[in-house]
Structure 1
Amino acid sequence: MPAIISEARQPSSRVEEQVVDLIPALRAFARTFTSSSFEADDLVQETLLRALRSIDQFAPGTSLKSWLFTIMRNVFRTQYKLRKRESPGAMDSAELSIPAAPAQEWSVLNGELRHALELLTPEHREVLVLVAGFGMSYKEAADICDCAIGTIKSRLNRAREELVTQMHGNPLN
């Protein structure tokens, strides 16, 4: 029985040896993605981890180098998306206190906004409150107002322009 087990593992170990032989090529390819050797080494390490974890999925007779390069490209793209989504220093920023404007300003702005909303036409106020205030979709607002979606978009645009004019004295455009 032990002979059968060693024979079954032998092809996999040959592939693993070929993976080790391709590490210099992986490092060179990783340097095309990153600017520092440390980042390149991390990329190679993550690629090797994923490749060895799924070595049984490698199809014998195909190019191992291409398979590894594809894994590396996918690892890099995943890491890139994460870096774009999570800005650097976010952990440090979370520890800082949130600067807040004095409560008096919010109270004054709230009063000005309420007054400006009262000056809007009822149709514009209704659409603005439904879409911007309650976060409803154009379709939902159109169903409530019993009109076309295009009408909702038009009313919302005019309502926003009127509101800006009321609040700041100058139109959006």
Structure 2
Amino acid sequence: MTKDEERDFRNGLVEMVPVLRAFARSLCGKRDLADDLAQETLAKALQARDKFRPGTNLKAWLFVILRNEFYSNHRRAKTVANYAAAEGLHSESMEPEQHASLDLSDLMRAFNQLPFEQKEALILTAGEFSYDEAAAICGCAVGTIKSRVSRARKRLESLVEGKDGVLPSRSEQPEDPTDAFFKFGRSVTEKAHG
């Protein structure tokens, strides 16, 4: 990289911090975990900056790193979560008191019923990635992303309207971060513009 390209790369990283944090939060569901994930992503991006091709999509490149890091962390955390569940260390969550919170809670439980790939496709497209960019991040065809988004929307509608089974109660929902994958997904777009 030339000095100008290096400067542009670093400036691009700084500009992407809020968007990375928002996407990480939509994946993790918890601010502290999301901040750690975003920080790890930035550190890995700096270490791998010689692999980035100037003129290509920095945002998509960073999201691939973040997504891969999330998967790695998830594999490590799954063992810890299984141990915690066996030891009875899961905490009870509080019931929301407002009707709007209950509606959001229903939506979150519906999201948790979706396959991981569908949740991921929704988050990326809600985060204003094009279908092409989302496909590149997920490593699949554009048609696959479109199909995942379409199926996810139809399934969500059926679940929320009660046409397709019953949503589990809040007490049946585990508090594992991967189960809350989409908990903050709707904030991705807001934070990306903020």
TM-score, length of structure 2 as denominator length: 0.40
Higher relative CO (Cα under 8 Å, sequence separation at least 6) belongs to 2
TM-score, length of structure 1 as denominator length: 0.45
Larger helix percent: 1
